[in-house]
Structures are given as structure tokens and as C-alpha cells.
Structure 1
Amino acid sequence: MSGTKWWSVMLKADPAFPDPAVAAAYEALPRPQRDGLLALRGLIFETAAETPGVGSLQECLKWGQPAYLTPDTKAGSTIRLGLPKQGGFALYTHCRTTLIADFRSLFPDDFQYEGNRAVHFKAGTSLPRDPLRLLIRSALTYHLK
């Protein structure tokens, strides 16, 4: 990989970064957390592609963190990915939605939660993809209820 940016290699499995600022934000992250966040990013894109009503997915930065929106359909609530102060990495939803509360009622002991706004993960651990697809799908279709 000499001379090749890590994110250009990652693009073979994930969609390209349309915004260089988003690519730079990922590149600036510590490696273990970056790997986890890139896995979440891939899961967000996969889930969006297979979920009716989502439409196109916009990837941008909000508060300096990668964020995912549904600009064409406005079906979803924003999902952000970032690093919590407690360590690890996290998937954030809008705190005024019921997304985390609903998810916590289904999986009360399976995840570490931050109030009604985030699910935290430890770097270097595998993600439970099926439950997370449910959370991501719920966020991407939140306004279709």
C-alpha cells in the first residue's frame, strides 16, 4: 500500500467518497476506530440500497462528523458516526427521535447506549450486523411512519 491512501483501498468494497472533506475526516481518525466506523458506513449504504422508500443517500459532514441523510425523499432522520469522549466509536441519531429508545427496548442488554442519542462500540470488536440493520433502517425511514 505504499503511496496509496488507506481510503482509496477501502473503496473497492464501499462506495466512493463523493466529498473529499468526508474522506479526510475518516483519514484523520485513529485506525481501530476508523475501521469500525468504516464498517458502519458500509452497513449504512447497504441498508439504504435494500430499503424501499429511502432514495439516494447523501454523505456529508455535520459537526465535523460523517453524516448520512435522505435528501430526495426526506424519509430519514440523520445518522452520524463519531468518537465519543468515553472511547470507542458510535452511531448517533437525532436526540429528539425515538430511534434509540425503540432500539433499546428491543435490545436492552446487547449494546452500550448514550441516553437517547447513540449506540457505542469498542474498537476492534465485530459489529452485530443484523440488529444494526434494524436501527439503520428505522433511522433511514423514520419520517415514513
Structure 2
Amino acid sequence: MNPENDIAAAYDAFPKDVRNVLLELRRLILTTAIDTKEVSAVTEALKWGQPSYLTKTGTTIRLGRDKASGRPAIFVHCQTSLVGEFRDMFPGVFDFQGNRAVILKDDVGSVIKPLQLCISAALTYHQR
């Protein structure tokens, strides 16, 4: 099996509107990783059937949908403090699911800066 084909198939399984947002988030994760000097190499893989982005300097970021709303979401390890930090930093900007997910309310373009900060914090989590 080709991991790249598996990842592409995982994206293809999402409804088109969600897939387009998740692909935008993928691009944002990869460009944020490049622009953040503290981030080690990022590996793209599937975890729990979701496109995931792993790095030694941070916690895994997974992309998927919130089960309740169906909206695009960014998932991080629930035992990190990240979602609580994001909730404090960006009240009203995102919805949240416990300690594990940031759920988008708007299109990616309208929340680029907050998303970049969230992504950078996740990708450097182990360095803080």
C-alpha cells in the first residue's frame, strides 16, 4: 500500500465542502511548520483514519470533522493543555470539543492568524 494514496483517500472520503477546508488546513500546517524554525520535520500519516501531522517537537495534529456539527476540526492529544489555551486565547473565534478539538466556525481565510498560532503551538508543544 502507498501511504500517500491512503492519505488522499482519507481526504476524498470527506464531503467536498469539508474536504476543501481540510486541504486548506493541511497547507496551513505545512507552511506554518516551514515558517516556524523550532519545528522539526513534519510527517504526514493516517492516525485513526484521519490525516495526521507528526513532529518530534510537538504533538500530533489530526484533521477531521466534529461528529456533532459535521464542521471541520483540528484535533490534538487530549492530555495536552492546548485546547484550553486556545479557548482562553480565542473566545468566540472557534468552537471547542473538550480538550481535544478546535472546531472551525468560519472559513479558514477569516481566521488565518489564530489558526497559525494554534498550529505553531501544537507543533512546538514539547519544546515549551
TM-score, reference length from structure 1: 0.81
Task: Show the counterpart of 1:35.
Answer: 20
The residue that corresponds to 2:104 in the other structure is: 121
Corresponding residue for 1:82? 64
Would you identify which runs of 4 or more consecutive aligned residues in structure 1 move more than 4 Å?
none
TM-score by length of 2: 0.92
* 1:6 alignment partner in structure 2: none
Name the counterpart of 1:111. Answer: 94
> Unmatched 5+ residue regions in structure 1?
1-17
Q: Which has the higher helix share?
A: 2
Choose 1 or 2 for highest CA Rg: 1
AA aligned to 2:79 is R
SS of structure 2 residue aligned to 1:96: coil
* 2:29 maps to 1:26: no
User: Shift of residue 121 of structure 1?
Assistant: 2.0
**In structure 1, C-alpha distance between the alignment counterparts of 2:87 and 2:71, rounded to whole Å:** 19
Partner-residue secondary structure (3-state), 1:36: helix
State the distance in 2 between where 1:143 and 1:135 align.
14
The alignment covers a number of residue pairs equal to 124
In the alignment, the residues of structure 1 paired with residue 59 and residue 71 of structure 2 have an alpha-carbon distance, to the nearest angstrom, of 23
Give me the identity figure in percent: 50
Question: For each residue in 1:70-116, what CA deviation from the matched residue of structure 2 results, as whole angstroms up to 9, or x when unmatched?
Answer: 1xxx1010000011212111000110001111111111221111111
**1:132 and 2:115 are equivalent in the alignment:** yes
- Residue 57 of structure 1 is matched in structure 2 by 42
Distance 2:98 2:124 in 1: 21
Partner of 2:74: 91
Shift of 1:52: 1.1
